[in-house]
Structure 1
Amino acid sequence: MNPDFAIILNFDLKTSNVDQDYLVKEARNIGVRAIMADDSFLEACQKYSIALLDKQAGLDLTAENVIDTIVENRIKGQATIINLAVEADGKLADDNLKMLSAINDWMHLFGHALNESEPSELKTSYGYILTNRHATYQKYIFVKTPLPDKLTVSGLKQAPNRVEWIADRTEAKFSYDKQELTIDLSASNSEFAWEIIRIQAHRPEDDLGETKF
């Protein structure tokens, strides 16, 4: 399965009275890149650049546990397949809409980090570290509140250029000594239980001087 598919919506149709365009657009709008449904969804998937996958067993989740599940699976390098029942009237149940809203709120800030990440070789004293598979100089630390005052990361060979809270793009204070990075977590003010810190690691091109023409 494509590793960019962190979340997959598995549509369980209770009726043929379905607005495929609406459902696929809802998936696209919350940062989902793939769905599972029958072939009647193919045109809508092509329209919104969403992958249509063969059906597999999914999970019945709620607004209260969906982000925990998504993050925990991603940390393991796995996708989360979420069951969504389409009722007889062609609509989604209120509890499913509430869950999609919770996903949307979180993915609006952290979706890029979730979709692009894979397990990292670095180690942290708190939370979990993943690597951007397309830009490996970027590392993501997934941390869950309540947070400690600080955390340490081992394995970086050079001090990073920047460490920031993704939610508001504010810089996090840090120090680096003997291949150990210490990050101050006291400035966190996010409303979400799961937050993500981005480490912008040192790159060879950062040592190059300005090119003059």
Structure 2
Amino acid sequence: MNPDFAIVLTFKINGNADADFLVKTARNIGARAVITNAQKDDFKEACSKYTIFLADEADGVDLNSDDVIDTIVTNRQNGKNTIINIPVTDGKFDDITQKLLDTINSWMHLFGHALNEGKSSTLESNNGFILENRHADYQKYVFVKRPLPEKIEVTGLTQEPNRVEWIDHRTDLDFTFKDGKLIINLTEPESDLAWQVLRIQAHRPEDDIIHTEF
């Protein structure tokens, strides 16, 4: 399984199901791939429509709303994907599964870009862990879990960053940079989610280009 697929939903279908609805649900919560045990032609068509990869069957895990985000984030830190079993009976989710999907959706709505586009980084933090954007490596993401410290220290940068912010509502954070150490003073983010993500906007080559007027 491609580790770039941070979240994979494997639908365990009992009875008839609406493949279009299920694949759209996966897309909307930030999953990049799905698996199904039935109606494969229907799922192939829906995956093509919503640009989601239809993966071969693989073992998934049974998670709930209390442990799903911890599992997803920890697996991403270790370069692994999370394959989640999603039972579907006569086209419907039970209450436990719906709560699980709602929990994923709430977190991914804020931090899904950092999770899906992030890859391992050479930077290190004394709290949490760091990924960098695979398409724009000047963007670094620090994943940190509550209870939040007053400040965190990041090492490995060679230049002072342009900006540091909570991804949640793009709130700027004060920082200092000296002797290769970035000290970030944390404030309380607006969301109360356990896992938070801040973005370090590092120095870019284009920042050295002097703008001229003609």
- The TM-score range, normalised by the shorter chain, is over 0.9
CA contact (8 A) 1:137 1:201 kept: yes
CA contact (8 A) 1:172 1:187 kept: no
CA contact (8 A) 1:109 1:167 kept: yes
**Mapped pair 1:20 → 2:19:** yes
Over aligned residues, Cα RMSD in angstroms? 1.2
Corresponding letter in the other structure for 1:145: R
Which aligned runs of 4 or more in structure 1 are off by greater than 4 angstroms? Answer: none
Percent of aligned pairs with the same amino acid: 56
Shift of 1:94: 1.2
Q: Distance in 2 between matches of 1:111 and 1:160?
A: 23
Q: TM-score if structure 1 supplies the norm length?
A: 0.95
Corresponding letter in the other structure for 2:207: D
Gaps of 5+ in 1: none
Task: Quote the residue 1:200 is aligned against.
Answer: 201
Shift of 1:190: 2.3
Shift of 1:156: 0.3
Count of matched residue positions in the alignment of Structure 1 and Structure 2 = 211
More moved, 33-42 vs 140-149: 33-42
Shift of 1:212: 4.3
Corresponding letter in the other structure for 2:197: I
Q: Distance in 1 between matches of 2:188 and 2:86?
A: 37
Gaps of 5+ in 2: none
**Mapped pair 1:103 → 2:109:** no
Shift of 1:76: 0.6
SS in structure 2 at match of 1:135: coil
More moved, 33-42 vs 52-61: 33-42
Q: Distance in 2 between matches of 1:211 and 1:115?
A: 37
Task: Quote the residue 1:4 is aligned against.
Answer: 4
CA contact (8 A) 2:29 2:101 kept: yes
**Mapped pair 1:66 → 2:68:** yes
Corresponding letter in the other structure for 2:129: Y
SS in structure 2 at match of 1:168: helix
SS in structure 1 at match of 2:187: coil
Shift of 1:203: 1.1
Cα deviation code 1:140-195 (max 9, x no counterpart): 00000001110000110000000000011010111100010000013434210000
Q: Distance in 2 between matches of 1:2 and 1:135?
A: 20
Corresponding letter in the other structure for 1:57: D
Q: TM-score if structure 2 supplies the norm length?
A: 0.95
Task: Quote the residue 2:120 is aligned against.
Answer: 119
Q: Distance in 2 between matches of 1:152 and 1:190?
A: 22
SS in structure 1 at match of 2:168: coil
